[in-house]
Amino acid sequence: MSVDWVSIAVLSTAVLGLVNIIDSHLISKRMPSLSAFLLPAGFLILFFALVLSYLFPLPESVGSQPMIVAVVSGLLRAGSLVILLYVLKTEEVSRAIPVFHTFPVFVAIMALPLLGETLGYLQWLAIVIVVAGAVLLSVKWGRDGSTSWPGRTFLFLLAASLLMAGANIASKYALGYVSFWNMYWISALCMSAVFMLISLRRHVFRELATMGRRGSALGLLAFNELLVLIGVLLMFWAMENGPVSLVSTIAGGRPLFVLIYAVTLSRFLPRFLVWQYGREALALRIIATTLIVAGIAVIYLT
């Protein structure tokens, strides 16, 4: 019986879109610092990783090379997410996520030398469209109608996107030797190690001890990390059974879910997110997000 990896990838994308929304809320509104977010998240991820490593041990036949690649994938993924979370501290989630999710384009480019895949003229044109959408989405609208371009933030997000592309290609290779359960806990161990390396400081414990509404914030963070567990497991499951390029393409549609969630929350819970109001700004987001998703889709549909 074949696995419906397309539906699994779409479900993963929807779940991780909600994760991005909650991440943005916690980092920009509830947690005293990024390190204060990373420390409890790191402990939760470590707990999940240890439980799953016990339940799903590595196959006896796995060699050292796939393990090294799996660890590299986990470290690249961790680095990518740390950069994204840093940006979400001050940047609107509906603007940051689409730029970050240009990584399927980089997957396509990396696949040329690594996987022997080729791109046609329409696919290269699609890459230009995606980059144009990312640039358009990074434009900030002022109250007086003026615009500005956050160049540094844009470069951070592109760097995170490149790291995520490398992580996905490495994960696809490793999934030829280990299960998606194994791939999750290996990545989670790497993620936990990076998070703790950054945040395991005395002053971070003091920040957590003195923060207001600590119980509700940490409860929401625990719920969010459970969603991360579900979303990433689904992503690796889809990647194990389908082409990494197409799974990455579907993941590139996450900005649509983020935009839907953000618009809905801005209407019913306007203080939940950092959100720029105005019809012009919303129209810009819709156009730019559509360009990114359409461009990514063209790369593989052609």
If we measure between CA atoms, which residue out of 277, 261, 288, 289 comes closest to residue 19?
261
Q: For the chain, how many residues are written? A: 302
The reported pLDDT for the residue numbered 202 is 92
Do 152 and 40 form a contact (C-beta atoms < 8 A)? no
3-state secondary structure of 141: strand
User: Who wins on pLDDT, 23 or 47?
Assistant: 47
The reported pLDDT for the residue numbered 301 is 67
The reported pLDDT for the residue numbered 93 is 67
Do 241 and 90 form a contact (C-beta atoms < 8 A)? no
Give the H/E segment covering residue 185: helix 180-199
If we measure between CA atoms, which residue out of 94, 138, 127, 106 comes closest to residue 254?
94
Q: What is the mean pLDDT of residues 231-242?
A: 92
Q: Residues 49-96: pLDDT tens digits?
A: 999 999 999 998 888 999 999 999 999 999 999 998 888 777 776 677
Do 49 and 232 form a contact (C-beta atoms < 8 A)? no
Q: How far apart are CA 199 and CA 68, in angstroms?
A: 25
List beta partners, residue 29.
none
Confidence of residue 150 (pLDDT cuts 50, 70, 90): low
User: Who wins on pLDDT, 147 or 242?
Assistant: 242
Q: What is the mean pLDDT of residues 244-263?
A: 78
Q: Residues 126-144: pLDDT tens digits?
A: 777 777 776 676 666 555 5
Q: What is the mean pLDDT of residues 2-30?
A: 86
- Burial (Cβ within 10 Å: 0-12, 13-18, ≥19) of residue 43: middle
Give the H/E segment covering residue 108: helix 103-115
pLDDT surpasses 80 at 182:
yes
pLDDT surpasses 90 at 230:
yes
Q: What is the mean pLDDT of residues 116-132?
A: 71
Confidence of residue 188 (pLDDT cuts 50, 70, 90): very high
Do 125 and 116 form a contact (C-beta atoms < 8 A)? no
Average pLDDT value for the chain: 83
In a 13 Å sphere around the CA of 249, the CA atoms on its Cβ side amount to 22
Amino acid, res. 93: V
3-state secondary structure of 89: coil
Q: What is the mean pLDDT of residues 166-181?
A: 92
Do 174 and 69 form a contact (C-beta atoms < 8 A)? yes
Confidence of residue 238 (pLDDT cuts 50, 70, 90): very high
Q: Which two tokens stand for residue 206?
A: 């003091």
List beta partners, residue 148.
140
E-strand ranges in 59-191 read 140-141, 147-148
DSSP state letter for 176: T
* End-to-end C-alpha distance for the chain, whole angstroms: 28
Amino acid, res. 96: A
pLDDT surpasses 80 at 124:
no
Q: How far apart are CA 217 and CA 224, in angstroms?
A: 10
The residue ranges of every structural domain in the chain are 5-301
In the block, residue with structure tokens 């190690």: 193
